Chain A
Amino acid sequence: MPATINLFNILVPLFALIMIAKAYSHFRRTEKSLRELITWIFIWGAIGYIGFNPDIVTRLSGFLGIKSGLNVIIFFSIVILFYIVFKLIIALEQTEMRITRLVRGMALKNAHKKPPGK
């Protein structure tokens, strides 16, 4: 629990809660798997907790051996961004595969042959 509560300590956890609610809503509509939901709860939960209690970062930086608390945040932000970009690339690949399957199915259904004798 932080000694004094700033606007930052309320807004960040609130935003994280909204994002978790959104992820849960996607899960309910079967647009996300349970594994994805748990991952997002973990990521946004951690962001929300750090927003509420930023001192944890200083303790974490000491534990990890990284000198500055800010560096810990930057490090984890980059890791998370890499993860998101990778997920996006995979999602794009899967969408491309679905479109290709559709195009191929249409092509196979409508094969054109030269009429015999022509």
Chain B
Amino acid sequence: MKTVAVIPAYNEANHIADIVQAVLPHVEEVVVIDDGSSDNTSERALAAGATVLTHVINCGAGAATQTGLSYALDNGADYVVTFDGDGQHDPKDIPGMLEFIQKEQKDVVLGSRFLKKNDIPKLRLWANKIANTITFFLSGIAISDSQSGFKVFSRHALPRINITANGFEFCTEIIRTIANENLSYTEYPISVYYSEESMAKGQNFSTGVVTVFKLIVRSLMR
């Protein structure tokens, strides 16, 4: 059974080596997608033992994730774990999620920060509630954490996931694909650690507004 971890990273030279080394014991291959970083994210990830795919320009977390999923599909992965590159996720959750997807025989397992006691800033909490509501209206699926980057996909799900959204709206797009493709899914409680750096890089109010706007435009384009 081949398991690949996909880690999109943009200017994560400070953390990426530690993350790769912490994830590697739980999977067969770690793929870091350097999304047009201006620092030496690629070199650090490569030295830490990851396969590195480099975007020549910054395209966004959605585009980087899809590059990683395409690579995993082409290279015969049975399971793919998507994991944030800013150090907010705990690699120790990976074995539990992999065991869970096999035991439950689901196509997708969605990591949820809200099914476990985590220290989450209030603003994030409310932003996520709004995102969950929008995701529900667009997909018909009600989940506790629609914007989590920590997910596991089965071989069956991989070719059906085709992320076209470049930015953070890709999380909602994945949920919509789960609904449209009738993929089975479940949630799994995960740990999350927010640092000042990860707070600055993640979604904020303005990116949230852009995300909602893009979701509406993309819905009209369909």
A interface residue numbers (CB < 8 A to B): 86, 89-90, 93, 96-97, 99-100, 103-104, 106-108, 110-114
Contacts and interface: CB of A to CB of B under 8 A. Distances in A.
Interface stretch (B67-75, B103-111, B194-202): B67-75
B9 interface: no
B203 to A, nearest CB: 19
Contacts of B67: 104, 107-108
Interface of B: 33, 42, 46-47, 49-57, 59, 63, 66-67, 70-71, 74, 164, 166, 214, 217-218, 220-221
B221 A111 contact: no
A103 B60 CA distance: 11
Nearest to B217: A89
A103 B71 contact: no
Contact of A103 (B47, B49, B59): B59
Contacts of B217: 89-90, 93
A93 B218 contact: yes
Given A90-B217, A104-B55, A114 B71 contact: no
A39 B46 CA distance: 52
Given A90-B217, A90-B221, A96-B166, A103 B51 contact: no
